[in-house]
């Protein structure tokens, strides 16, 4: 499993996940479809589906144009408000893309229908991957816009049960601001100080 990290807009990330044997690919949170398709072409892969974490424009606004450019493309997510959704996913549902398994994890808090995606390959030495959208970021989490703090806590607690070697691919680059805030809250925390130094 190969993950292409695609920075877009002011601080968003889109992702292209490539199954290297079949050259099948899945996109996560398409905000700028033409940029995604440039990378699809350069990598020589077949884009078969889009996984959308939530309905906000900076994660889903590219879906309609991408669906128009790629008829038959599956656009998947947990919230009917996601642009161009072709199938609504349920918590715990599992999908397959070639050798890649996807477990859908409903992680409400930021939005009511926020879905995170846990991906792995059987018999592969690479660690699994989590695409957490705005549920989890480096040193922080998304704002509770449609849910409660308790829902967000439960969502984060569930993500915390994933294998510790899991690589986390979040929806935004907020590392420095999150750690600077954490240092203001806990000025004597050595872990925060070391992580902030690393991030800078």
Residues annotated catalytic, as ranges: 54, 56, 58-59, 110, 134, 172
Residues listed for the chain:
200
The two three-digit tokens of residue 32, written as one number: 């700028």
Rounded Cα–Cα distance for residues 96 and 134 (Å): 23
Strands 100-106 and 115-121, how do they pair? antiparallel
CB under 8 A, 24+ apart: contacts of 90-98 = 91/115, 97/17, 97/19, 97/24, 97/26, 97/48, 97/49, 98/19, 98/21, 98/22, 98/24
Give the CA angle between residues 57, 63, 66 to the nearest 5°.
140
79-91 core/surface letters (b: 16 or more CB in 10 A; e: else) = beebbbbeeebee
DSSP letter string, 126-179: SPPEEEEETT-BTTB----SSS-HHHHHHHHHHHTTS-TTPEEEESB--HHHHH
* Cβ atoms < 10 Å from Cβ of 157: 9
């Amino acid at each position: 499993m190969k993950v292409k990290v695609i920075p877009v807009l002011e601080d968003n990330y889109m992702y292209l996940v490539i199954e290297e044997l079949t050259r099948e690919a899945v996109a996560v949170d398409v905000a700028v479809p033409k940029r995604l398709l440039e990378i699809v072409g350069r990598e020589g892969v077949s884009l078969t589906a889009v996984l959308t974490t939530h309905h906000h424009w900076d994660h889903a606004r590219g879906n309609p144009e991408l669906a128009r450019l790629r008829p038959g493309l599956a656009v998947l997510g947990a919230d009917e408000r996601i642009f161009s959704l072709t199938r609504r996913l349920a918590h715990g549902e599992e999908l397959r893309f070639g050798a890649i398994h996807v477990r859908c994890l409903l992680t409400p808090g930021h939005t009511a229908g926020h879905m995170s995606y846990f991906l792995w390959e059987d018999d592969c030495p690479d660690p699994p991957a989590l695409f957490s959208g705005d549920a989890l970021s480096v040193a922080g989490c998304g704002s509770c816009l449609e849910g409660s703090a308790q829902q967000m806590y439960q969502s984060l607690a569930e993500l915390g049960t994933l294998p510790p070697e899991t690589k986390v691919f979040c929806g935004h680059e907020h590392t420095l601001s999150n750690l600077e805030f954490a240092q203001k809250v806990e000025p004597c925390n050595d872990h925060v100080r070391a992580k902030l130094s690393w991030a800078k």
